[in-house]
Structure 1
């Protein structure tokens, strides 16, 4: 059984008196420890699909099943708890809190995820995760002193600090140059495999597809290729 399944997911927006169908019945399944890439032209529906899977917006129709539980039938508070405890998020820009150090960014995420760890245990986890992403030497640095690649490494650390089961990444390398993009995607893949996380990422950069186990191509609100 897959960890994550989407069945006939549709999304419709009302644009004045016209209904605009963004997703037209998408079926998708994700397995533990695998990296899946979503690709397609602008307006194909890939980012909408990711945000629906992540519980950031609701589907107009269809099922979003996580561990057999239907997110489509849950209230907002139940979905919020799943997002906080079981999901991790990486976006195009790191969106770090400017007045917090690298270490404090991760401690804040542990608080948001309602971690039951004691203070010394939290510090141990932070140290281990920073070592994993190669940022332990920058733990006392503020975002303004970090490079773009370093900021994304911190964003990745923040996304996995609470041991999520699913990692969602929306254009995680779009703001980086080619070398830093490859470094970040290699890190995401390594973490997915080592921590047995299920990763779904959106990209427009074909060079990043080599880091995926599966590639899903979307066009006009439908999956047109799955490899």
Structure 2
């Protein structure tokens, strides 16, 4: 089922008297339980498209339809609530809070998403998602004692703890070696299927594309090719 629609989205930046159109009318539909990968050279517009879809910056024109609602007409507070409750984010670096344990990182995310779960229910949810990412044995560990791959696993668990509908992943394997990159992509793919979420990922690593259901090739703000 289609849960997310990007309709004729354009983005123009103005630098003095010079206007540059970064996105030139993008149309894209995202379905539940599928990983869609955005690929293209630096400056192709893929990261801009992801941040607009995620409500992190506005489009100049066009619409973002999520669960039947037009995000482009929402207030800043409405978009914040969608991001907090419905979206999960994984970036190139894990950005874990250094003074919080693995388990506490997840609890913080539940606070941000304004979860109504009891303390015991939160602990149970944390244990469940940490088991899914293979990090339940490190739940009392601090980030300083984790490897790069372990940190990304925790970041994925943190992004999933509140059961988001959409996961946005911006170069999630760029800081990892080949083996850890494959492990993280397998994890993202498997969680997308198991939890029936929608994943939109930006990557420059063509080896990671085999884990995607759809590959969107971009160049100069346009979609060149949409591959299944």
1:140-175 Cα shifts (integer Å, max 9, x gaps): 111011000000000000000000000000000000
Q: Structure 1 length as normaliser, TM-score? A: 0.99
In the alignment, which residue of structure 2 is the partner of 1:186? 186
**1:2: how far off?**
1.5
Match of 2:56 in 1: 56
Secondary structure of residue in 2 paired with 1:63: strand
> 2:132 is matched with which residue?
132
Alignment of 1:75-224 (within 5 A): 75-224=75-224
Task: Tell me the residue number matched to 2:17.
Answer: 17
* Pairs aligned (count): 227
Q: Distance in 2 between matches of 1:18 and 1:70?
A: 30
Structure 1: distance between partners of 2:2 and 2:139: 36
Determine helix, strand or coil for the equivalent of 1:6. Answer: strand
- Match of 2:2, SS state, is coil
Q: Distance in 1 between matches of 2:43 and 2:219?
A: 8
Deviation of residue 99 (structure 1)? 0.4
TM-score (norm 2): 0.99
Displaced runs of 4 or more, over 4 A: none
Structure 2: tracts of 5 or more residues without a match:
none
Q: Distance in 2 between matches of 1:162 and 1:71?
A: 20
Please give the root-mean-square deviation of Cα atoms over the aligned residues, in Å: 0.5
